[in-house]
Amino acid sequence: MLNLAIVLSENAQRFPDRTAVICDDRKLSYAELETITNRMANSLTHLGVHPGQKVLLMLPNIPEFVIAYFGVLKPGGVVVPINVLYKAREIEFLLTDSEAVALIACTEFLAEALEAYRNVETCQHLILVDFPKEPPAIGDAGVHRFADLIRTGSGDFEVVAMSPDDTAVIGYTSGTTGKPKGAELSHFNLFYQCRVLPELTGEPRQPGEVRMAVLPLFHSFGQSCVMNTVLALGSTMTCMVRFDPAKALEMIARDKVTHFAAVPTMYLQMINHPDRSKYDLSSLRMCGSGGAPIPLETLESWKRHYGSQIQEGYGLTETSPTATWSQGPVKPKFGSCGKPIWGCQIKIVDDSGNALPPGKEGEVLIRGVNVMKGYYKQPEATAQILKNGWFYSGDIGKLDEEGYLYIVGRKKDMILRGGFNIYPREIEELLYEHPAVAEAAVVGVKHEELGEEVKAVVFLKPGCKVTEKDLQAYCKERIAAFKYPRIVEIRDKPLPKGPSAKILKRELIDEHERARTATAH
C-alpha cells in the first residue's frame, strides 16, 4: 500500500525541527507542517471528502498550497491543481469534468472561484484561504474559511492506505488543441519521481539544502520536481508567490538557495537584469531547466556569469513529469536534455511508427514507470496517445549515438512552408545568439500561396538597437533560404507568457491573424 503523503509524515518524524517551508517571513518546520496538514485532513474528512474524491486547488506558491495538497492526499482524496489565472468558465469546466466535491481558492481569486462554485451543483464546498486578505462574509451554504478548518481539526491523523496505482493527482493539460484533458498520475508515479529517482541518480546530498519554488506549484514541474522532492528528501523549500527576476536573485542570496529549477525565460530575465551583479549566487550547486527547450546562448551566458552549468531535463505532465535528465552519472551536453531516467525508455519514430536510428528526427515516444495511467474519463483520447505501452509525446526530437535526447520542436508546432518542414527552435536558437536579442519566438502564420510563412517576434535587451531588416538579414546569412523569417516584428515590451513563464505562441499567432484580417477589411 502507498500514499504519497508519507513523504511528509516520515520526514516529520526524522527531522521535526528542520525548516520545511519558507515564504518570506513565514517559516514552518516539518513537525508544524505535519500537524497542520493533519488538521486539514481531519476537517476535510468531517466535510465528507472520501478516498477517490477530487478537490480542486486554485492557489499560488504559498504554504497553504502545500497544506492543502497533503491535507487532501492524507484521507485518500485526489488533488486537482489548476492554473490560478483561470476565469469562472474555465473553473466550471474543471470542476465538472473532474467531478470535484470541493474547491480550495485564495481570496485573490474570490470572484471567479465563487461564480464557478455557484454554477456547479456537484461541488459541495468552497474553502477560502486568507490571501492576500480575509474573505468577506458570504452567505452561500458550503463556504468555509481555510483558517477555521485548520483551527478546529485534530492534529492527529492516520494516513489512509492507498494502492500504488490509485490516482493521487489529476493534472490538466493546457488544452491548446481543445478542452483540457486530465492526466491521472498515480501515487507510485509521483512517489517514484520525488523519492526513488533522487537516490538512483546518485546526486550527493548535504545538510542545509534549500530548493527554490519559482515555478508554479500547480504545474507538474514545480509540484513534483520541487515541492514533492523537497519534502521527500527532508530539505527546505523557499517559495516565491510570483516570479520576478530581481526578487528571485534576492531570494537566492537571502536564503542561500542550493538548488534552482526554472524555465528558460526565467533564466533569460535574470541574466539580463541590470542589477544581477549585486547579488551573491555562490550558494547554488545545481540549476535545472525544463518546460521548454533552452537556448544554447542562455546556457553559455549563465555559466559565464555564475560558473554553474544549467542541467536540462525533458518531460510532460503525462510523464509525472521527468522523462530525461542530465544529472548524476549523466554528464550534461549543450543542447541536449540528457538521457532517460532510470526505469524509462525513449525511442524516435517516423509517421508510420517505425523506429529511427540515431541522428534522425521524429516523434519522441516514452515508456516507463513515470507514464500516467491515462486521461480521466477519456478512453478514446488515451488510446490515441498510449499505444502498446508507449506514450506518443507529440514532440519532435532525435537521439545521438550515446542516447542523449535533443528536442527539435513540437509536431504541431512545426511550420510547413511551401512543402518544407521548418522547426521554430532552430531559428529561435539563431536569434538568441544575436547580441541584441533578449527574447525570441518563431511561429507559422497563414500565407495564401505557401500555406504558412515564418514570422519572428523579438524583444531586445535594454539599450540595444537593431531593425527588423537587420535581424532578417542576420538569419538569412546563417540558415537555408527557405527557413529564414520573412516577417520580423520587434516589440517594445516582453513577449506574452503564461503562468509558468512560457512564451504564448498561440497568442502571437492570433494577434497576427487579427491584424491581418483588419488590414484586409
The CATH number that applies at residue 73 is: 3.40.50.980
- The answer on 166 and 32 residing in a single domain is yes
- The answer on 444 and 342 residing in a single domain is no
Print burial letters for 186-219: b (CB count within 10 Å at least 16), e (below 16).
Answer: bbbbbbbbbbbbbeeeeeeeeeebbbbbbbbbbb
**Chain centre to alpha carbon of residue 358:** 29
Residue 477 CB contacts under 8 Å (≥ 6 apart), including other chains: none
- The answer on 426 and 515 residing in a single domain is yes
**Is position 353 within any domain?**
yes
**DSSP-derived 3-state class of residue 292:** coil
**Chain centre to alpha carbon of residue 254:** 25
The rounded percent of the chain whose pLDDT value lies above 90 is 77
- List the CATH number of the domain containing 486: 3.30.300.30
Q: Closest Cα partner for 98 from 127, 121, 78? A: 78
For 155-183, the DSSP string reads S---PPP--TTSEEEEEE---TTSS--EE
- Summarize pLDDT for 377-389 with one digit per residue, the tens: 999 999 999 999 9
**Is position 213 within any domain?**
no
- Summarize pLDDT for 122-149 with one digit per residue, the tens: 999 999 999 999 988 999 999 999 999 9
Report the predicted TM-score, pTM, of the whole model to 2 decimal places.
0.86
The overall average pLDDT reported for the chain is: 93
- The answer on 424 and 404 residing in a single domain is no
CB 252 within 8 A of CB 284: yes
pLDDT band at 471 (very low <50, low <70, confident <90, very high): very high
- Summarize pLDDT for 251-294 with one digit per residue, the tens: 999 999 999 999 888 998 899 999 999 999 999 999 999 877 78
Confidence at residue 328, expressed as pLDDT on a 0 to 100 scale: 66
**Is position 5 within any domain?**
no
In whole angstroms, how far apart are CA 306 and each of 226, 270, 277? 21, 11, 10
- The answer on 147 and 44 residing in a single domain is yes
**Is position 1 within any domain?**
no
> Of 366, 383, 410, which one is at a domain's C-terminal end?
410
CB 308 within 8 A of CB 335: no
Least confident interval from 159-173, 325-339, 400-414, 449-463: 325-339
In whole angstroms, how far apart are CA 212 and each of 7, 24, 207, 253? 18, 12, 16, 11
- The answer on 114 and 86 residing in a single domain is yes
- Listed in order, strand segments (DSSP E) in 214-361 are 236-239, 259-262, 286-289, 310-315, 322-325, 339-340, 344-349
**How many other C-beta atoms are found inside a 10 Å radius of the C-beta of residue 52?**
12
For residue 349, the cross-strand partners are 355, 363
**Is position 234 within any domain?**
no
- The answer on 395 and 498 residing in a single domain is no
Count up the domains in the chain and report the number.
3
Strands 125-129 and 102-106: parallel
- The answer on 162 and 69 residing in a single domain is yes
> Of 350, 385, 410, which one is at a domain's C-terminal end?
410
Residue 431 confidence (pLDDT) above 70: yes
Length of the chain, in residues: 521
Confidence at residue 176, expressed as pLDDT on a 0 to 100 scale: 40
- Summarize pLDDT for 154-180 with one digit per residue, the tens: 999 999 999 999 999 999 986 444 578
For residue 169, the cross-strand partners are 79, 185
| Dmax (CA) of the chain | 69
Look up the domain containing 68 and give its range: 27-185
**Is position 498 within any domain?**
yes
**Is position 231 within any domain?**
no
Task: Report the range out of 66-80, 205-219, 480-494 with the highest average pLDDT.
Answer: 66-80
In whole angstroms, how far apart are CA 162 and each of 6, 59, 74, 231, 330? 11, 25, 10, 19, 34
Phi and psi at 127, nearest 5°, equal -110, 120
Confidence at residue 178, expressed as pLDDT on a 0 to 100 scale: 56
> Of 410, 443, 477, which one is at a domain's C-terminal end?
410
| Separation of alpha carbons 482 and 96, rounded Å | 47
- Three cell numbers written together for 138: 458570504
- The answer on 260 and 353 residing in a single domain is yes
pLDDT band at 228 (very low <50, low <70, confident <90, very high): very high
**Is position 41 within any domain?**
yes
- The answer on 442 and 500 residing in a single domain is yes
- List the CATH number of the domain containing 269: 3.40.50.12780
Q: Name the DSSP class of 321.
A: S
The rounded percent of the chain whose pLDDT value lies above 70 is 98
Confidence at residue 132, expressed as pLDDT on a 0 to 100 scale: 94
- The answer on 83 and 53 residing in a single domain is yes
Confidence at residue 419, expressed as pLDDT on a 0 to 100 scale: 66
- The answer on 74 and 154 residing in a single domain is yes
| Separation of alpha carbons 138 and 161, rounded Å | 36
| Separation of alpha carbons 208 and 10, rounded Å | 18
Q: Where is 448: in which H helix or E strand?
A: none
Q: Between 449 and 462, where is the model more confident?
A: 462
- Three cell numbers written together for 107: 481570496
| Separation of alpha carbons 252 and 283, rounded Å | 8
CB 79 within 8 A of CB 49: no
Confidence at residue 175, expressed as pLDDT on a 0 to 100 scale: 47
